Amino acid sequence: MERRATRTVLAAVLLGVGGLVMAVAQRQPAAGERPRDREGKAMSGRTLGPEEERVIRGKGTERPFTGKYWNHHANGTYTCRRCGAPLFPSSAKFDSGTGWPSFDQALPGAVREVRDADGMRTEIVCAHCGGHLGHVFRGEGFTSLQTRHCVNSVSLDFVAGEGAPDGAAAKAGATASAGTCAADGGPVPGDAVPARAEAFFAGGCFWGVEYFFDQVPGVIRAESGYMGGRVDDPTYERVCAHGTGHVETVRVEYDPAKVTYEALARRFFEIHDPTQVDRQGPDVGEQYRSVVFYADEAQQRVAQGLVDRLVRRGYAVATRLQPATIFWPAEAYHQDYYARKHGLPYCHTRTNRFGDE
């Protein structure tokens, strides 16, 4: 009976969808942010702030219990922060205790599911603009639908109005083991360390950097891409033509319970030569310069500490420390290059530069 009531409400919400989409279509394109639809055409959209960029385009995760909507109970429709498309009715929202907004149902066709490359989680993106929303988990027992769309608040906007709260009220306080957006699905109490973190390193040709980070225990995935440039959707050709300002960068996704950021940053300084300026070995150009893109102040402090140690040991360190910006994954043929080719990196080897092992 409750589901039937929800469906009636959904129909009402859907009736409103047309109007919302119209409103989106009429919105002027914002400067700096041109989301692309599935055909790759630029769409109108809103300007994103740094945290929104990190989560929506960089597929990041906001800290639990910090977002605008995890503890938000009102009637209406949650929409895509980037393009405005309606995504979830408030009637599908329930309190999961995870610190992220949780919905047991999306509006029909609003959300697309994408299997994570690690095969462990299923990402959800806005079906309209492809913006990252979060992940979907099933079979946890929160509600009768056995589905939890775990969404970052920062990926959402809220439009008050229709969207009856009957389901939300009934689901509030649903008892089930607390879930998490993390990979292992295990409970994460309160302010616990997230089970995943990200680090970004640029040290020459990304094939070699990715290769070495993939060997580190605790690293979930290393991915080749581009960071630090001035344009959206950079391609390898454009980056190599020096037109974009991007640097070949590797995104390292890791489990902080198994490997520390310091251990990763040390590894970074050991597998490339941080004294080379705008090049690495045979690869010459600003896209090969040495950069640590730090995700927060803690990472910055750790990286600076390692640079200082190397300087004290006599190295003229050229590595720059810069705040992380949007990470653009590289083309598929650049991923896992050496693993696929059964080769070894030509441009990177491991060298003990800290002298303490």
Residues recognised as catalytic: 150, 205
If the CB atoms of residues 85 and 259 are measured against Zn ion, the closer one turns out to be 85
CA-derived radius of gyration, the chain: 22
Q: How far is the CB of 203 from Zn ion (least distance, A)?
A: 34
In the complex, least distance from residue 55 CB atom to Zn ion, rounded to whole angstroms: 13
Cβ nearer to Zn ion, comparing 133 with 347:
133
- What is the CA angle 128-295-233, rounded to 5? 40
Which residue in 173, 213, 222, 232 sits closest to 348, CA to CA? Answer: 213
Nearer to Zn ion, 124 or 195 (CB): 124
Minimum Å gap between C-beta 157 and Zn ion is 10
- Cα separation values, 171 from 112, 158, 162, 168, 195, Å: 24, 19, 18, 5, 27
For residues 244 and 278, what is the distance between their CA atoms, to the nearest angstrom? 15
Say if residue 323 is exposed, middle or buried (CB neighbours under 10 Å; 0-12, 13-18, 19+): middle
CA pair distance 90, 134, nearest whole angstrom: 17
CB nearer Zn ion, residue 78 or residue 254: 78
CB of 81 to Zn ion, least distance (A): 8
Residues that bind Zn ion (CB under 5 A): 80, 82-83, 85, 126, 128-129, 131
Q: CB of 132: closest distance to Zn ion in angstroms?
A: 10
Closer residue to Zn ion, CB minimum distance, 88 or 261: 88
**Cβ neighbourhood burial of 27 (10 Å; 0-12, 13-18, 19+):** middle
